[in-house]
Structure 1
Amino acid sequence: MTARRLADLRTALAGLDPMPGELVRERAEVPARFGVSARYAKWAGTPAPPPTGPGPAVLFERVAPESGAPARAVLIGLYGTRRRAAALLGTTPGLLPQRIVDAVGSPVAPVRGRGGREPVRVPLAPDLTALPVPVLTDEDAGPYLTLGSVLATDPDTGVRNLSVHRMCVQGPDRLSLWMVPGRDLEAAHQAARRRGENLPVAIHLGLGPAVLLSSCCPASLVPGGVDELGVAGALGGAPVELTDCRTVAAECIAHAEYVIEGELLADTAPENPRGPYATPEFLGYRGRAHPALPTVRVTGITAREGAILQTVSGPGHEQSVLLGFGMEAAVLARLRELDAPVKGVHCHTAGGGQLMVVLQWRAKRSAADDEVVRKAAESVLEEFRMAKLAVSVDEDVDIESDADLWWAMTTRLQADRDVAVLSDRPGFPLDPSQSTAYSPHLSADGRTAKAHFDCTVPHALRARFHRPRFTEPPGQGS
């Protein structure tokens, strides 16, 4: 794929059009409330419960907002399979994590718009209710921007941050925004508050694959001071183009489908004034609403002609794919730092792309490598708070195949010697089992027992576990 395709959503979609089954275009008008999620369920499972499964990208060409505003296009499911997500970046699932690691190590700085070549942006009224923001379930607090990438600059350090956040439409010009504590956007917000200022932000809907994937990378991979836009430039093969917002002193990405301009305020508001729940979470359970979240005052909206609003289903396969690739890159980079003999990493979508880590190890050279593998796998559980289960397998196991993983678990593991449990470790509260109500062995909610399943063959017994290979007849090999 061309560099421009990697930087731009609609040209990425155009690349899918000739591929059978990869992109579905739904031309019938559907309502933003429940219409997108109910129709998407035809192709990719049900929205909730259970979580959606692999499926095509679906472009709804006419989604009608509840306000009665004209119908607009909505895209869901673009990253609905690992294979397609990697292909959008010109690679395969097995190679993409290393591509991300390389991009972090050699970023390509963004550039200002190049002499009018960037797409024309049309100013819209600063009215969120005129946009086709989906409501997925009847328990949602309201319409949610589930794939909004927030670009902001820390006023103290001058470093940009691009990150995806859950945002609920609270009114025509108001959004509530949930930030993971301790991350860069929260630091920039606090820096602005210390100055007595609001933080200017640009919220992007509909970004190219390289930019969106870079915005989903964990802080352990892209530390403070590293510009995610530089990572995106390296990953996409061309610098990201920036331009100025119209109503706030902030930059925005020129090729975004929508840019919502605004200020992150000191004011807070309940995420759901009407009930205890927010919107389904990526692990497949309903999420509890936060009692007080920072709010964004919207000052302007711009859009490309025929703009496409991109979204994901909360408890969805797609969101887990996006989170998984960044986590894989972070684990791979850390194991390489330890000089561990890792060959590949797969953060399985069953764990939301975070909680279940499959580790593929190179062939063991001696009996000492039995312990090397175990200690390295346990170090992943210790160093990555989100990781709850680690599964180690050999080179001959296809880590993208659930059947192969279960085969290895069944035939290469004895529970009394190959399962290690790490008790009462820091965990992830959105997993409902990580609570004292579930396990009295946990010292607090949000802590968990972690486990390593060592499904690698002991070096001394490797000859007993040889897998036969099919051979082509002479003269018929490929």
Structure 2
Amino acid sequence: MSQEELYDLRKVLEELKEEPGAYHETDVEIDPESELAGVYRYIGSGGTVMRPTQEGPTMMFNNIKGFPGKRVTIGIIASRKRVGKILNYDYRYLGKLLKESVANPIEPVKVSREEAPAQEVVHLATDEGFDIRKILPAPTNTPLDAGPYITMGVVLGSDPDKTMSDVTIHRMVLEDEDTIGMYVMPGGRHIGHFQEQYEKLNKPMPITINIGLDPAISIGTTFEPPTTPLGYNELWIAGALRNQPVQLVDSLTVDEVGIARSEFIIEAEILPNERMQEDLHSNTGHAMPEFPGYNGDANPAVNVVKVKAITHRKDNPIMQTTIGPSEEHVSMAGIPTEASILDLVDKAIPGKVVNVYNPPAGGGKLMSILQIRKEREADEGIQRQAAILALSAFKELKTVILVDDDVDIFDMNDVMWTLNTRFQGDKDIIVLPGMRNHPLDPSEIPEYNPGVIRFRGMSAKTILDGTVPFDLKDKFVRAQFMEVPDWEKYLK
């Protein structure tokens, strides 16, 4: 396979340039400290970002203040329709595509350093003047951020015996010339499980942080158990999405591999049994804006990551970044969750859940809309069973809306129409109190609901059942219009 046929960030960007309105670049100088995110907030971030915002093009900033010869791109997947274009699939059924990719994985392959553009330029921590803050044009999202953040860096690590490996995305702040603060949830993700094993051995954990990637990798990376159990490396999903294996390359300074077609690779070690204050230098109390639309609290004890080397492409390397509450997070977190819910309900109640959508209103994690097909009397109630299955398996899911299969789940006006004409609050709301959810939701604190929320991260889960009772279907038939197949001719 030729280099031109291999998927990476640059190939995808070239393809997007051919799509009207999908890509825009500028040579106007921009400051990565708050200004870049502030500008893109208006142009295309969408999601739960403070209004005004909108869905807009991928942006490439070619003139980054303080970083000559380096570029920053943002928003490549800040549009579900754009994700569909990138993956060559109908955007409405991306959950089904990812579900199939999990079931048909393609494992990565190893290539030589000569075949790895990510290692064309090498900066070693032992070099005079080495400073990650001067090599990486990592933006801050707001003036209150704890520092410059890597927001689209895929962390690759393995267990101590090198029998299992995995990839995850974490928020990572550049603390000083060779230190990154990274919060690793203990055991919560596979990288966390591996890191706990290293801590018990009191050994540093070698990792690579891979930046500037084909979106197939960024989206596939965000799958979680039970869909991808311990030992399942999500790079296999990216391989299936592209029908070509992800290429890996041996690191130069740590015992781990990097993603060979990245723009940047950081080689590093997570130090055992060492923690640091996330906002050590800013002392604002804030980390960065997170997906629910609020500033995340700075963690008092993030993992300490010591950088050993940074490698990157020689030809204007691209720093890839995102805004925490943007539509980009919805694509990364929501589409894999849709796939996971479809997989789960297909096994338990096959054929009854037609499709699933995790909308921007929930940041891709907090809300799901399930499209239900009731075909017979015995199907009544199955919709609520599907909702409970989803809520049980995905603890970060807070609200499930159930609609019939004549409702467009990607049109929130249609969904809200359902809740206004096929829904009665006193009988169609199911509340499950005292369950676990996502601690970034600011309503999930004891002060908000004393006696019920005992600890931060607990929540009531809500099911809104907007499906029509099967025996009343004839009373809820939408107004039917004439089918006019050639209607578009009247627009010419």
Once residues 331 and 45 of structure 1 are traced to their aligned partners in structure 2, the CA distance between those partners, rounded to angstroms, is: 26
Q: Deviations over 1:211-267 (max 9, x none)?
A: 111111122221111121112111221011111111212111111011011111122
Q: Which residue of 2 aligns with 1:138?
A: 143
Q: Which residue of 2 aligns with 1:243?
A: 249
1:107–1:234 CA contact under 8 A, matched in 2: yes
Query: 352, 367, 377: which is aligned to 1:367?
Result: 377
Query: 390, 408, 411: which is aligned to 1:401?
Result: 411
Q: Where does 1:124-273 land on structure 2 (aligned, <5 Å)?
A: 124-125=122-123, 126=125, 127-130=131-134, 131-156=136-161, 158-182=163-187, 183-266=189-272, 267-273=274-280
Per the TM alignment, residue 278 of structure 1 is displaced from its structure 2 partner at its CA by 1.0
Once residues 163 and 51 of structure 1 are traced to their aligned partners in structure 2, the CA distance between those partners, rounded to angstroms, is: 31
Once residues 289 and 405 of structure 1 are traced to their aligned partners in structure 2, the CA distance between those partners, rounded to angstroms, is: 36
Once residues 132 and 488 of structure 2 are traced to their aligned partners in structure 1, the CA distance between those partners, rounded to angstroms, is: 59
Q: Deviations over 1:296-325 (max 9, x none)?
A: 111111111221110001222211221100
Q: Which residue of 1 aligns with 2:100?
A: 102
AA aligned opposite 1:162: V
Q: Deviations over 1:52-80 (max 9, x none)?
A: 54221111111124xxx425200111111
AA aligned opposite 2:296: G
Q: Which residue of 2 aligns with 1:436?
A: 446
AA aligned opposite 1:56: P
Q: Which runs of 5+ in 1 are unaligned?
A: none
* SS in structure 1 of the partner of residue 287 of structure 2: strand
* SS in structure 1 of the partner of residue 62 of structure 2: strand
TM-score by length of 1: 0.94
Once residues 268 and 243 of structure 1 are traced to their aligned partners in structure 2, the CA distance between those partners, rounded to angstroms, is: 30
Q: Is 1:295 paired with 2:304?
A: yes
Q: Provide closer, same or farther for how the CA distance between residues 52 and 114 of structure 1 changes in structure 2, counting only shifts above 3 A.
A: farther
Once residues 412 and 231 of structure 2 are traced to their aligned partners in structure 1, the CA distance between those partners, rounded to angstroms, is: 38
Q: Which residue of 2 aligns with 1:15?
A: 15
Q: Provide closer, same or farther for how the CA distance between residues 469 and 120 of structure 1 changes in structure 2, counting only shifts above 3 A.
A: same
1:52–1:317 CA contact under 8 A, matched in 2: no
Q: Provide closer, same or farther for how the CA distance between residues 5 and 309 of structure 1 changes in structure 2, counting only shifts above 3 A.
A: farther
Aligned residues: 473
Once residues 11 and 475 of structure 1 are traced to their aligned partners in structure 2, the CA distance between those partners, rounded to angstroms, is: 36
Q: Provide closer, same or farther for how the CA distance between residues 52 and 291 of structure 1 changes in structure 2, counting only shifts above 3 A.
A: farther
1:64–1:72 CA contact under 8 A, matched in 2: no
Q: Provide closer, same or farther for how the CA distance between residues 160 and 3 of structure 1 changes in structure 2, counting only shifts above 3 A.
A: farther
Q: Which residue of 1 aligns with 2:476?
A: 465
Q: Provide closer, same or farther for how the CA distance between residues 52 and 282 of structure 1 changes in structure 2, counting only shifts above 3 A.
A: farther
1:5–1:208 CA contact under 8 A, matched in 2: no
Q: Which residue of 1 aligns with 2:354?
A: 343
1:358–1:392 CA contact under 8 A, matched in 2: yes
Once residues 5 and 476 of structure 2 are traced to their aligned partners in structure 1, the CA distance between those partners, rounded to angstroms, is: 45
AA aligned opposite 1:355: L
1:32–1:135 CA contact under 8 A, matched in 2: yes
Q: Is 1:448 paired with 2:459?
A: yes
TM-score by length of 2: 0.91
AA aligned opposite 2:436: P
AA aligned opposite 1:393: V
Q: Provide closer, same or farther for how the CA distance between residues 403 and 249 of structure 1 changes in structure 2, counting only shifts above 3 A.
A: same
Q: Which residue of 1 aligns with 2:60?
A: 59
1:114–1:241 CA contact under 8 A, matched in 2: no
Per the TM alignment, residue 379 of structure 1 is displaced from its structure 2 partner at its CA by 2.5
Once residues 364 and 244 of structure 2 are traced to their aligned partners in structure 1, the CA distance between those partners, rounded to angstroms, is: 27
RMSD (Å), alpha carbons: 2.2
Once residues 195 and 118 of structure 2 are traced to their aligned partners in structure 1, the CA distance between those partners, rounded to angstroms, is: 30
Per the TM alignment, residue 444 of structure 1 is displaced from its structure 2 partner at its CA by 3.0
Q: Which runs of 5+ in 2 are unaligned?
A: 126-130
Query: 416, 419, 422: which is aligned to 2:426?
Result: 416
Q: Deviations over 1:21-54 (max 9, x none)?
A: 1111121111111221122133136895359542
* SS in structure 1 of the partner of residue 319 of structure 2: strand
Once residues 404 and 153 of structure 1 are traced to their aligned partners in structure 2, the CA distance between those partners, rounded to angstroms, is: 45
Q: Which residue of 1 aligns with 2:128?
A: none
AA aligned opposite 2:168: S
Query: 365, 381, 386: which is aligned to 2:391?
Result: 381
Q: Which residue of 2 aligns with 1:32?
A: 32
1:52–1:315 CA contact under 8 A, matched in 2: no
Q: Deviations over 1:68-115 (max 9, x none)?
A: x42520011111111111221111232211221122122111111279
AA aligned opposite 2:481: F
Once residues 429 and 4 of structure 2 are traced to their aligned partners in structure 1, the CA distance between those partners, rounded to angstroms, is: 47
* SS in structure 1 of the partner of residue 63 of structure 2: strand
Q: Deviations over 1:359-414 (max 9, x none)?
A: 0012x122221211122212222332111110011111111111111111111111
2:45–2:78 CA contact under 8 A, matched in 1: no
Tell me whether 159-168 or 332-341 shows the greater mean CA deviation. Answer: 332-341
1:156–1:191 CA contact under 8 A, matched in 2: no
Once residues 82 and 485 of structure 2 are traced to their aligned partners in structure 1, the CA distance between those partners, rounded to angstroms, is: 35
* SS in structure 2 of the partner of residue 322 of structure 1: helix
2:38–2:142 CA contact under 8 A, matched in 1: no
1:206–1:258 CA contact under 8 A, matched in 2: yes
AA aligned opposite 1:204: N
Per the TM alignment, residue 445 of structure 1 is displaced from its structure 2 partner at its CA by 2.5
Per the TM alignment, residue 469 of structure 1 is displaced from its structure 2 partner at its CA by 3.9
* SS in structure 2 of the partner of residue 49 of structure 1: coil
Q: Deviations over 1:244-293 (max 9, x none)?
A: 11121211111101101111112221101223111111111111111111
Q: Provide closer, same or farther for how the CA distance between residues 389 and 5 of structure 1 changes in structure 2, counting only shifts above 3 A.
A: farther
Per the TM alignment, residue 472 of structure 1 is displaced from its structure 2 partner at its CA by 4.2
2:45–2:327 CA contact under 8 A, matched in 1: no
Q: Deviations over 1:156-191 (max 9, x none)?
A: 352111110100000111101011232211121122
1:145–1:168 CA contact under 8 A, matched in 2: yes
Q: Provide closer, same or farther for how the CA distance between residues 3 and 163 of structure 1 changes in structure 2, counting only shifts above 3 A.
A: farther
Per the TM alignment, residue 118 of structure 1 is displaced from its structure 2 partner at its CA by 4.3
Q: Which residue of 1 aligns with 2:294?
A: 285
Once residues 451 and 370 of structure 1 are traced to their aligned partners in structure 2, the CA distance between those partners, rounded to angstroms, is: 19
Q: Identical aligned pairs, as a percentage?
A: 34
Once residues 396 and 485 of structure 2 are traced to their aligned partners in structure 1, the CA distance between those partners, rounded to angstroms, is: 50
Once residues 469 and 454 of structure 2 are traced to their aligned partners in structure 1, the CA distance between those partners, rounded to angstroms, is: 35
Once residues 472 and 234 of structure 1 are traced to their aligned partners in structure 2, the CA distance between those partners, rounded to angstroms, is: 38
Per the TM alignment, residue 6 of structure 1 is displaced from its structure 2 partner at its CA by 7.6
